[in-house]
């Protein structure tokens, strides 16, 4: 099998893929209040529908990791993007919260393959010493997707209809699935005695299990706070457009933060980047616990973007390095743990969101962030990657 091209093209394709999947993931948070009003439903029900998306997004990541080992990374991404597009377009026609939740659950399950497959691709084709920088660049797609979804979804909801957002997302996903036909499969193959074999390898590794636990808590904090941020801003009396614009600041922050982290990763130990990210997330949660005004939301979104770019990219890079022989499995489990954590958080606080008790929600997030940062930074500081040479199949 031919090796992937050594040009920037593969990264560009992966950035577009993460843009589309991120756009779909962040399109719904600015629409929560609007959807609840349009479907004459309780806000808690719509929050739970969003939580179901994150749940299937997280739970199916390991499944797609196993599939990609057999079907191929690029083929898996193309197939799931096409199916996710259909489910997202179906979301636009949902007449009730129940059917919306079903459609979003299907979309989340299919889009679950996009980002971890992109990470695995980089893990298979980029040398370890350059990997965090490449992963940080991959976050450009995440940043643009987040900003576009946050600002665009709220604007479309106010001017036209929230349903149009899902139609546009689906069409973009279909176009991306076609474009990925030009991306070469990486020249790395993984064979296992059974589908469960790589999973057992991960579960037997204390470090791997620890990294997955950190991902679960990170998802509950970073994604959980971000999901409810626009609803909290709207509760202060702002429009969906303004709330979406505030959340879009997060995308700009991730973009700038990813650039900064890419440079810092050359000289700073990952443990310091994790500590920086956790500190930013702690401050963001504290700001939102004090005030939910648009200005407070913008400040919190900025801090969350820095937290995501520094802590999350460091934990992701760690996940690609812990067990190289089962990289597809552990990276998929990492992403799964992240979004399952977010889903669990959404379900736990849905009633509080219905009562607009956002101060309690964000204070709880702050209390979780502190031990998360200490444990993650301390664990990464003690861990050292085994071996010094380049990994087999890695393009240097």
For the chain, give percent helix, strand, coil, nearest 5: 80, 0, 20
Residues of the chain with pLDDT under 70: 1-9, 123, 126-133, 135-136, 139, 187-196, 240, 384-396
- Dihedral, 126, 129, 132, 133 alpha carbons, nearest 10: -80
Task: Answer yes or no: are the C-beta atoms of 52 and 105 closer than 8 Å.
Answer: yes
All domains of the chain in start order, with CATH: 9-183+193-382 (1.20.1250.20)
- The CB density around residue 369, as the number of other CB atoms within 10 Å, is 28
Residue 394's pLDDT is: 33
Rounded-to-integer distance, Cα 265 and Cα 313, Å: 10
pTM for the whole structure: 0.68
Token representation of residue 313: 């990219």
Q: Of 206, 298, 309, give the one whose Cα is nearest residue 248.
A: 298
Q: What is the pLDDT of residues 113-127, one digit of tens each?
A: 887 777 777 767 766
Unique residue bearing structure tokens 């999947």 = 21
Gyration radius (Cα) of the chain, Å:
19
Residue 83's pLDDT is: 93
DSSP per-residue codes, 30-47: GGHHHHHHHTT--HHHHH
Q: What is the pLDDT of residues 318-332, one digit of tens each?
A: 887 888 777 777 877
Q: What is the pLDDT of residues 210-232, one digit of tens each?
A: 989 999 998 888 877 777 787 78
Residue 38's pLDDT is: 79
DSSP per-residue codes, 145-196: HHHHHHHHHHHHHHHT-HHHHHHHHHHHHHHHHHHGGGSPPPS-----SSTT
Residue 210's pLDDT is: 92
Task: Answer yes or no: are the C-beta atoms of 296 and 289 closer than 8 Å.
Answer: no
SS3 readout for 122-138: HHHHCCHHHHHHHHHHH
């Amino acid at each position: 099998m031919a090796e992937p091209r050594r040009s920037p093209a593969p990264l560009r394709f992966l950035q577009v893929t993460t843009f589309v999947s991120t756009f779909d993931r962040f399109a719904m948070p600015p629409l929560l209040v609007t959807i609840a009003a349009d479907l004459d439903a309780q806000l808690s029900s719509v929050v739970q529908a969003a939580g179901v998306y994150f749940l299937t997004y997280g739970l199916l990541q390991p499944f797609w990791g196993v599939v990609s080992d057999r079907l191929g990374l690029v083929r898996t991404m193309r197939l799931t993007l096409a199916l996710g597009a259909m489910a997202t377009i179906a979301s636009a026609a949902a007449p009730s919260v129940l059917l919306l939740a079903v459609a979003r659950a299907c979309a989340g399950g299919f889009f679950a393959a996009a980002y971890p497959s992109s990470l695995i691709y980089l893990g298979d084709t980029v040398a370890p010493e350059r990997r965090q920088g490449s992963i940080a660049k991959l976050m450009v797609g995440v940043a643009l997707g987040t900003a576009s979804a946050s600002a665009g979804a709220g604007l479309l909801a106010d001017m036209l209809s929230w349903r149009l957002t899902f139609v546009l997302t689906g069409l973009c996903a279909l176009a991306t699935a076609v474009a990925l036909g030009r991306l070469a499969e990486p020249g790395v193959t993984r064979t296992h005695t059974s589908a469960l074999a790589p999973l057992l390898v991960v579960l037997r590794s204390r470090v791997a299990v620890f990294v997955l636990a950190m991902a679960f808590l990170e998802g509950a904090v970073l994604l959980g706070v971000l999901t409810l941020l626009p609803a909290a801003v709207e509760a202060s009396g702002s429009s969906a457009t303004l709330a979406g614009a505030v959340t879009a600041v997060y995308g700009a922050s991730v973009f700038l933060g990813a650039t900064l982290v890419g440079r810092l990763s050359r000289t700073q130990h990952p443990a310091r980047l994790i500590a920086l990210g956790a500190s930013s997330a702690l401050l963001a949660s504290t700001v939102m616990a004090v005030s939910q005004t648009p200005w407070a939301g913008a400040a919190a979104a900025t801090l969350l973007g820095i937290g995501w770019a520094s802590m999350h990219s460091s934990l992701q890079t760690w996940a690609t390095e812990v067990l190289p022989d089962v990289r597809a499995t552990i990276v998929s489990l990492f992403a799964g743990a992240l979004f399952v954590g977010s889903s669990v958080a959404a379900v736990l606080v849905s009633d509080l969101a219905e009562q607009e008790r956002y101060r309690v929600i964000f204070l709880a997030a702050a209390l979780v962030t502190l031990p998360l940062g200490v444990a993650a930074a301390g664990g990464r500081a003690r861990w050292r990657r085994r071996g010094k040479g380049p990994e087999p199949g890695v393009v240097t």
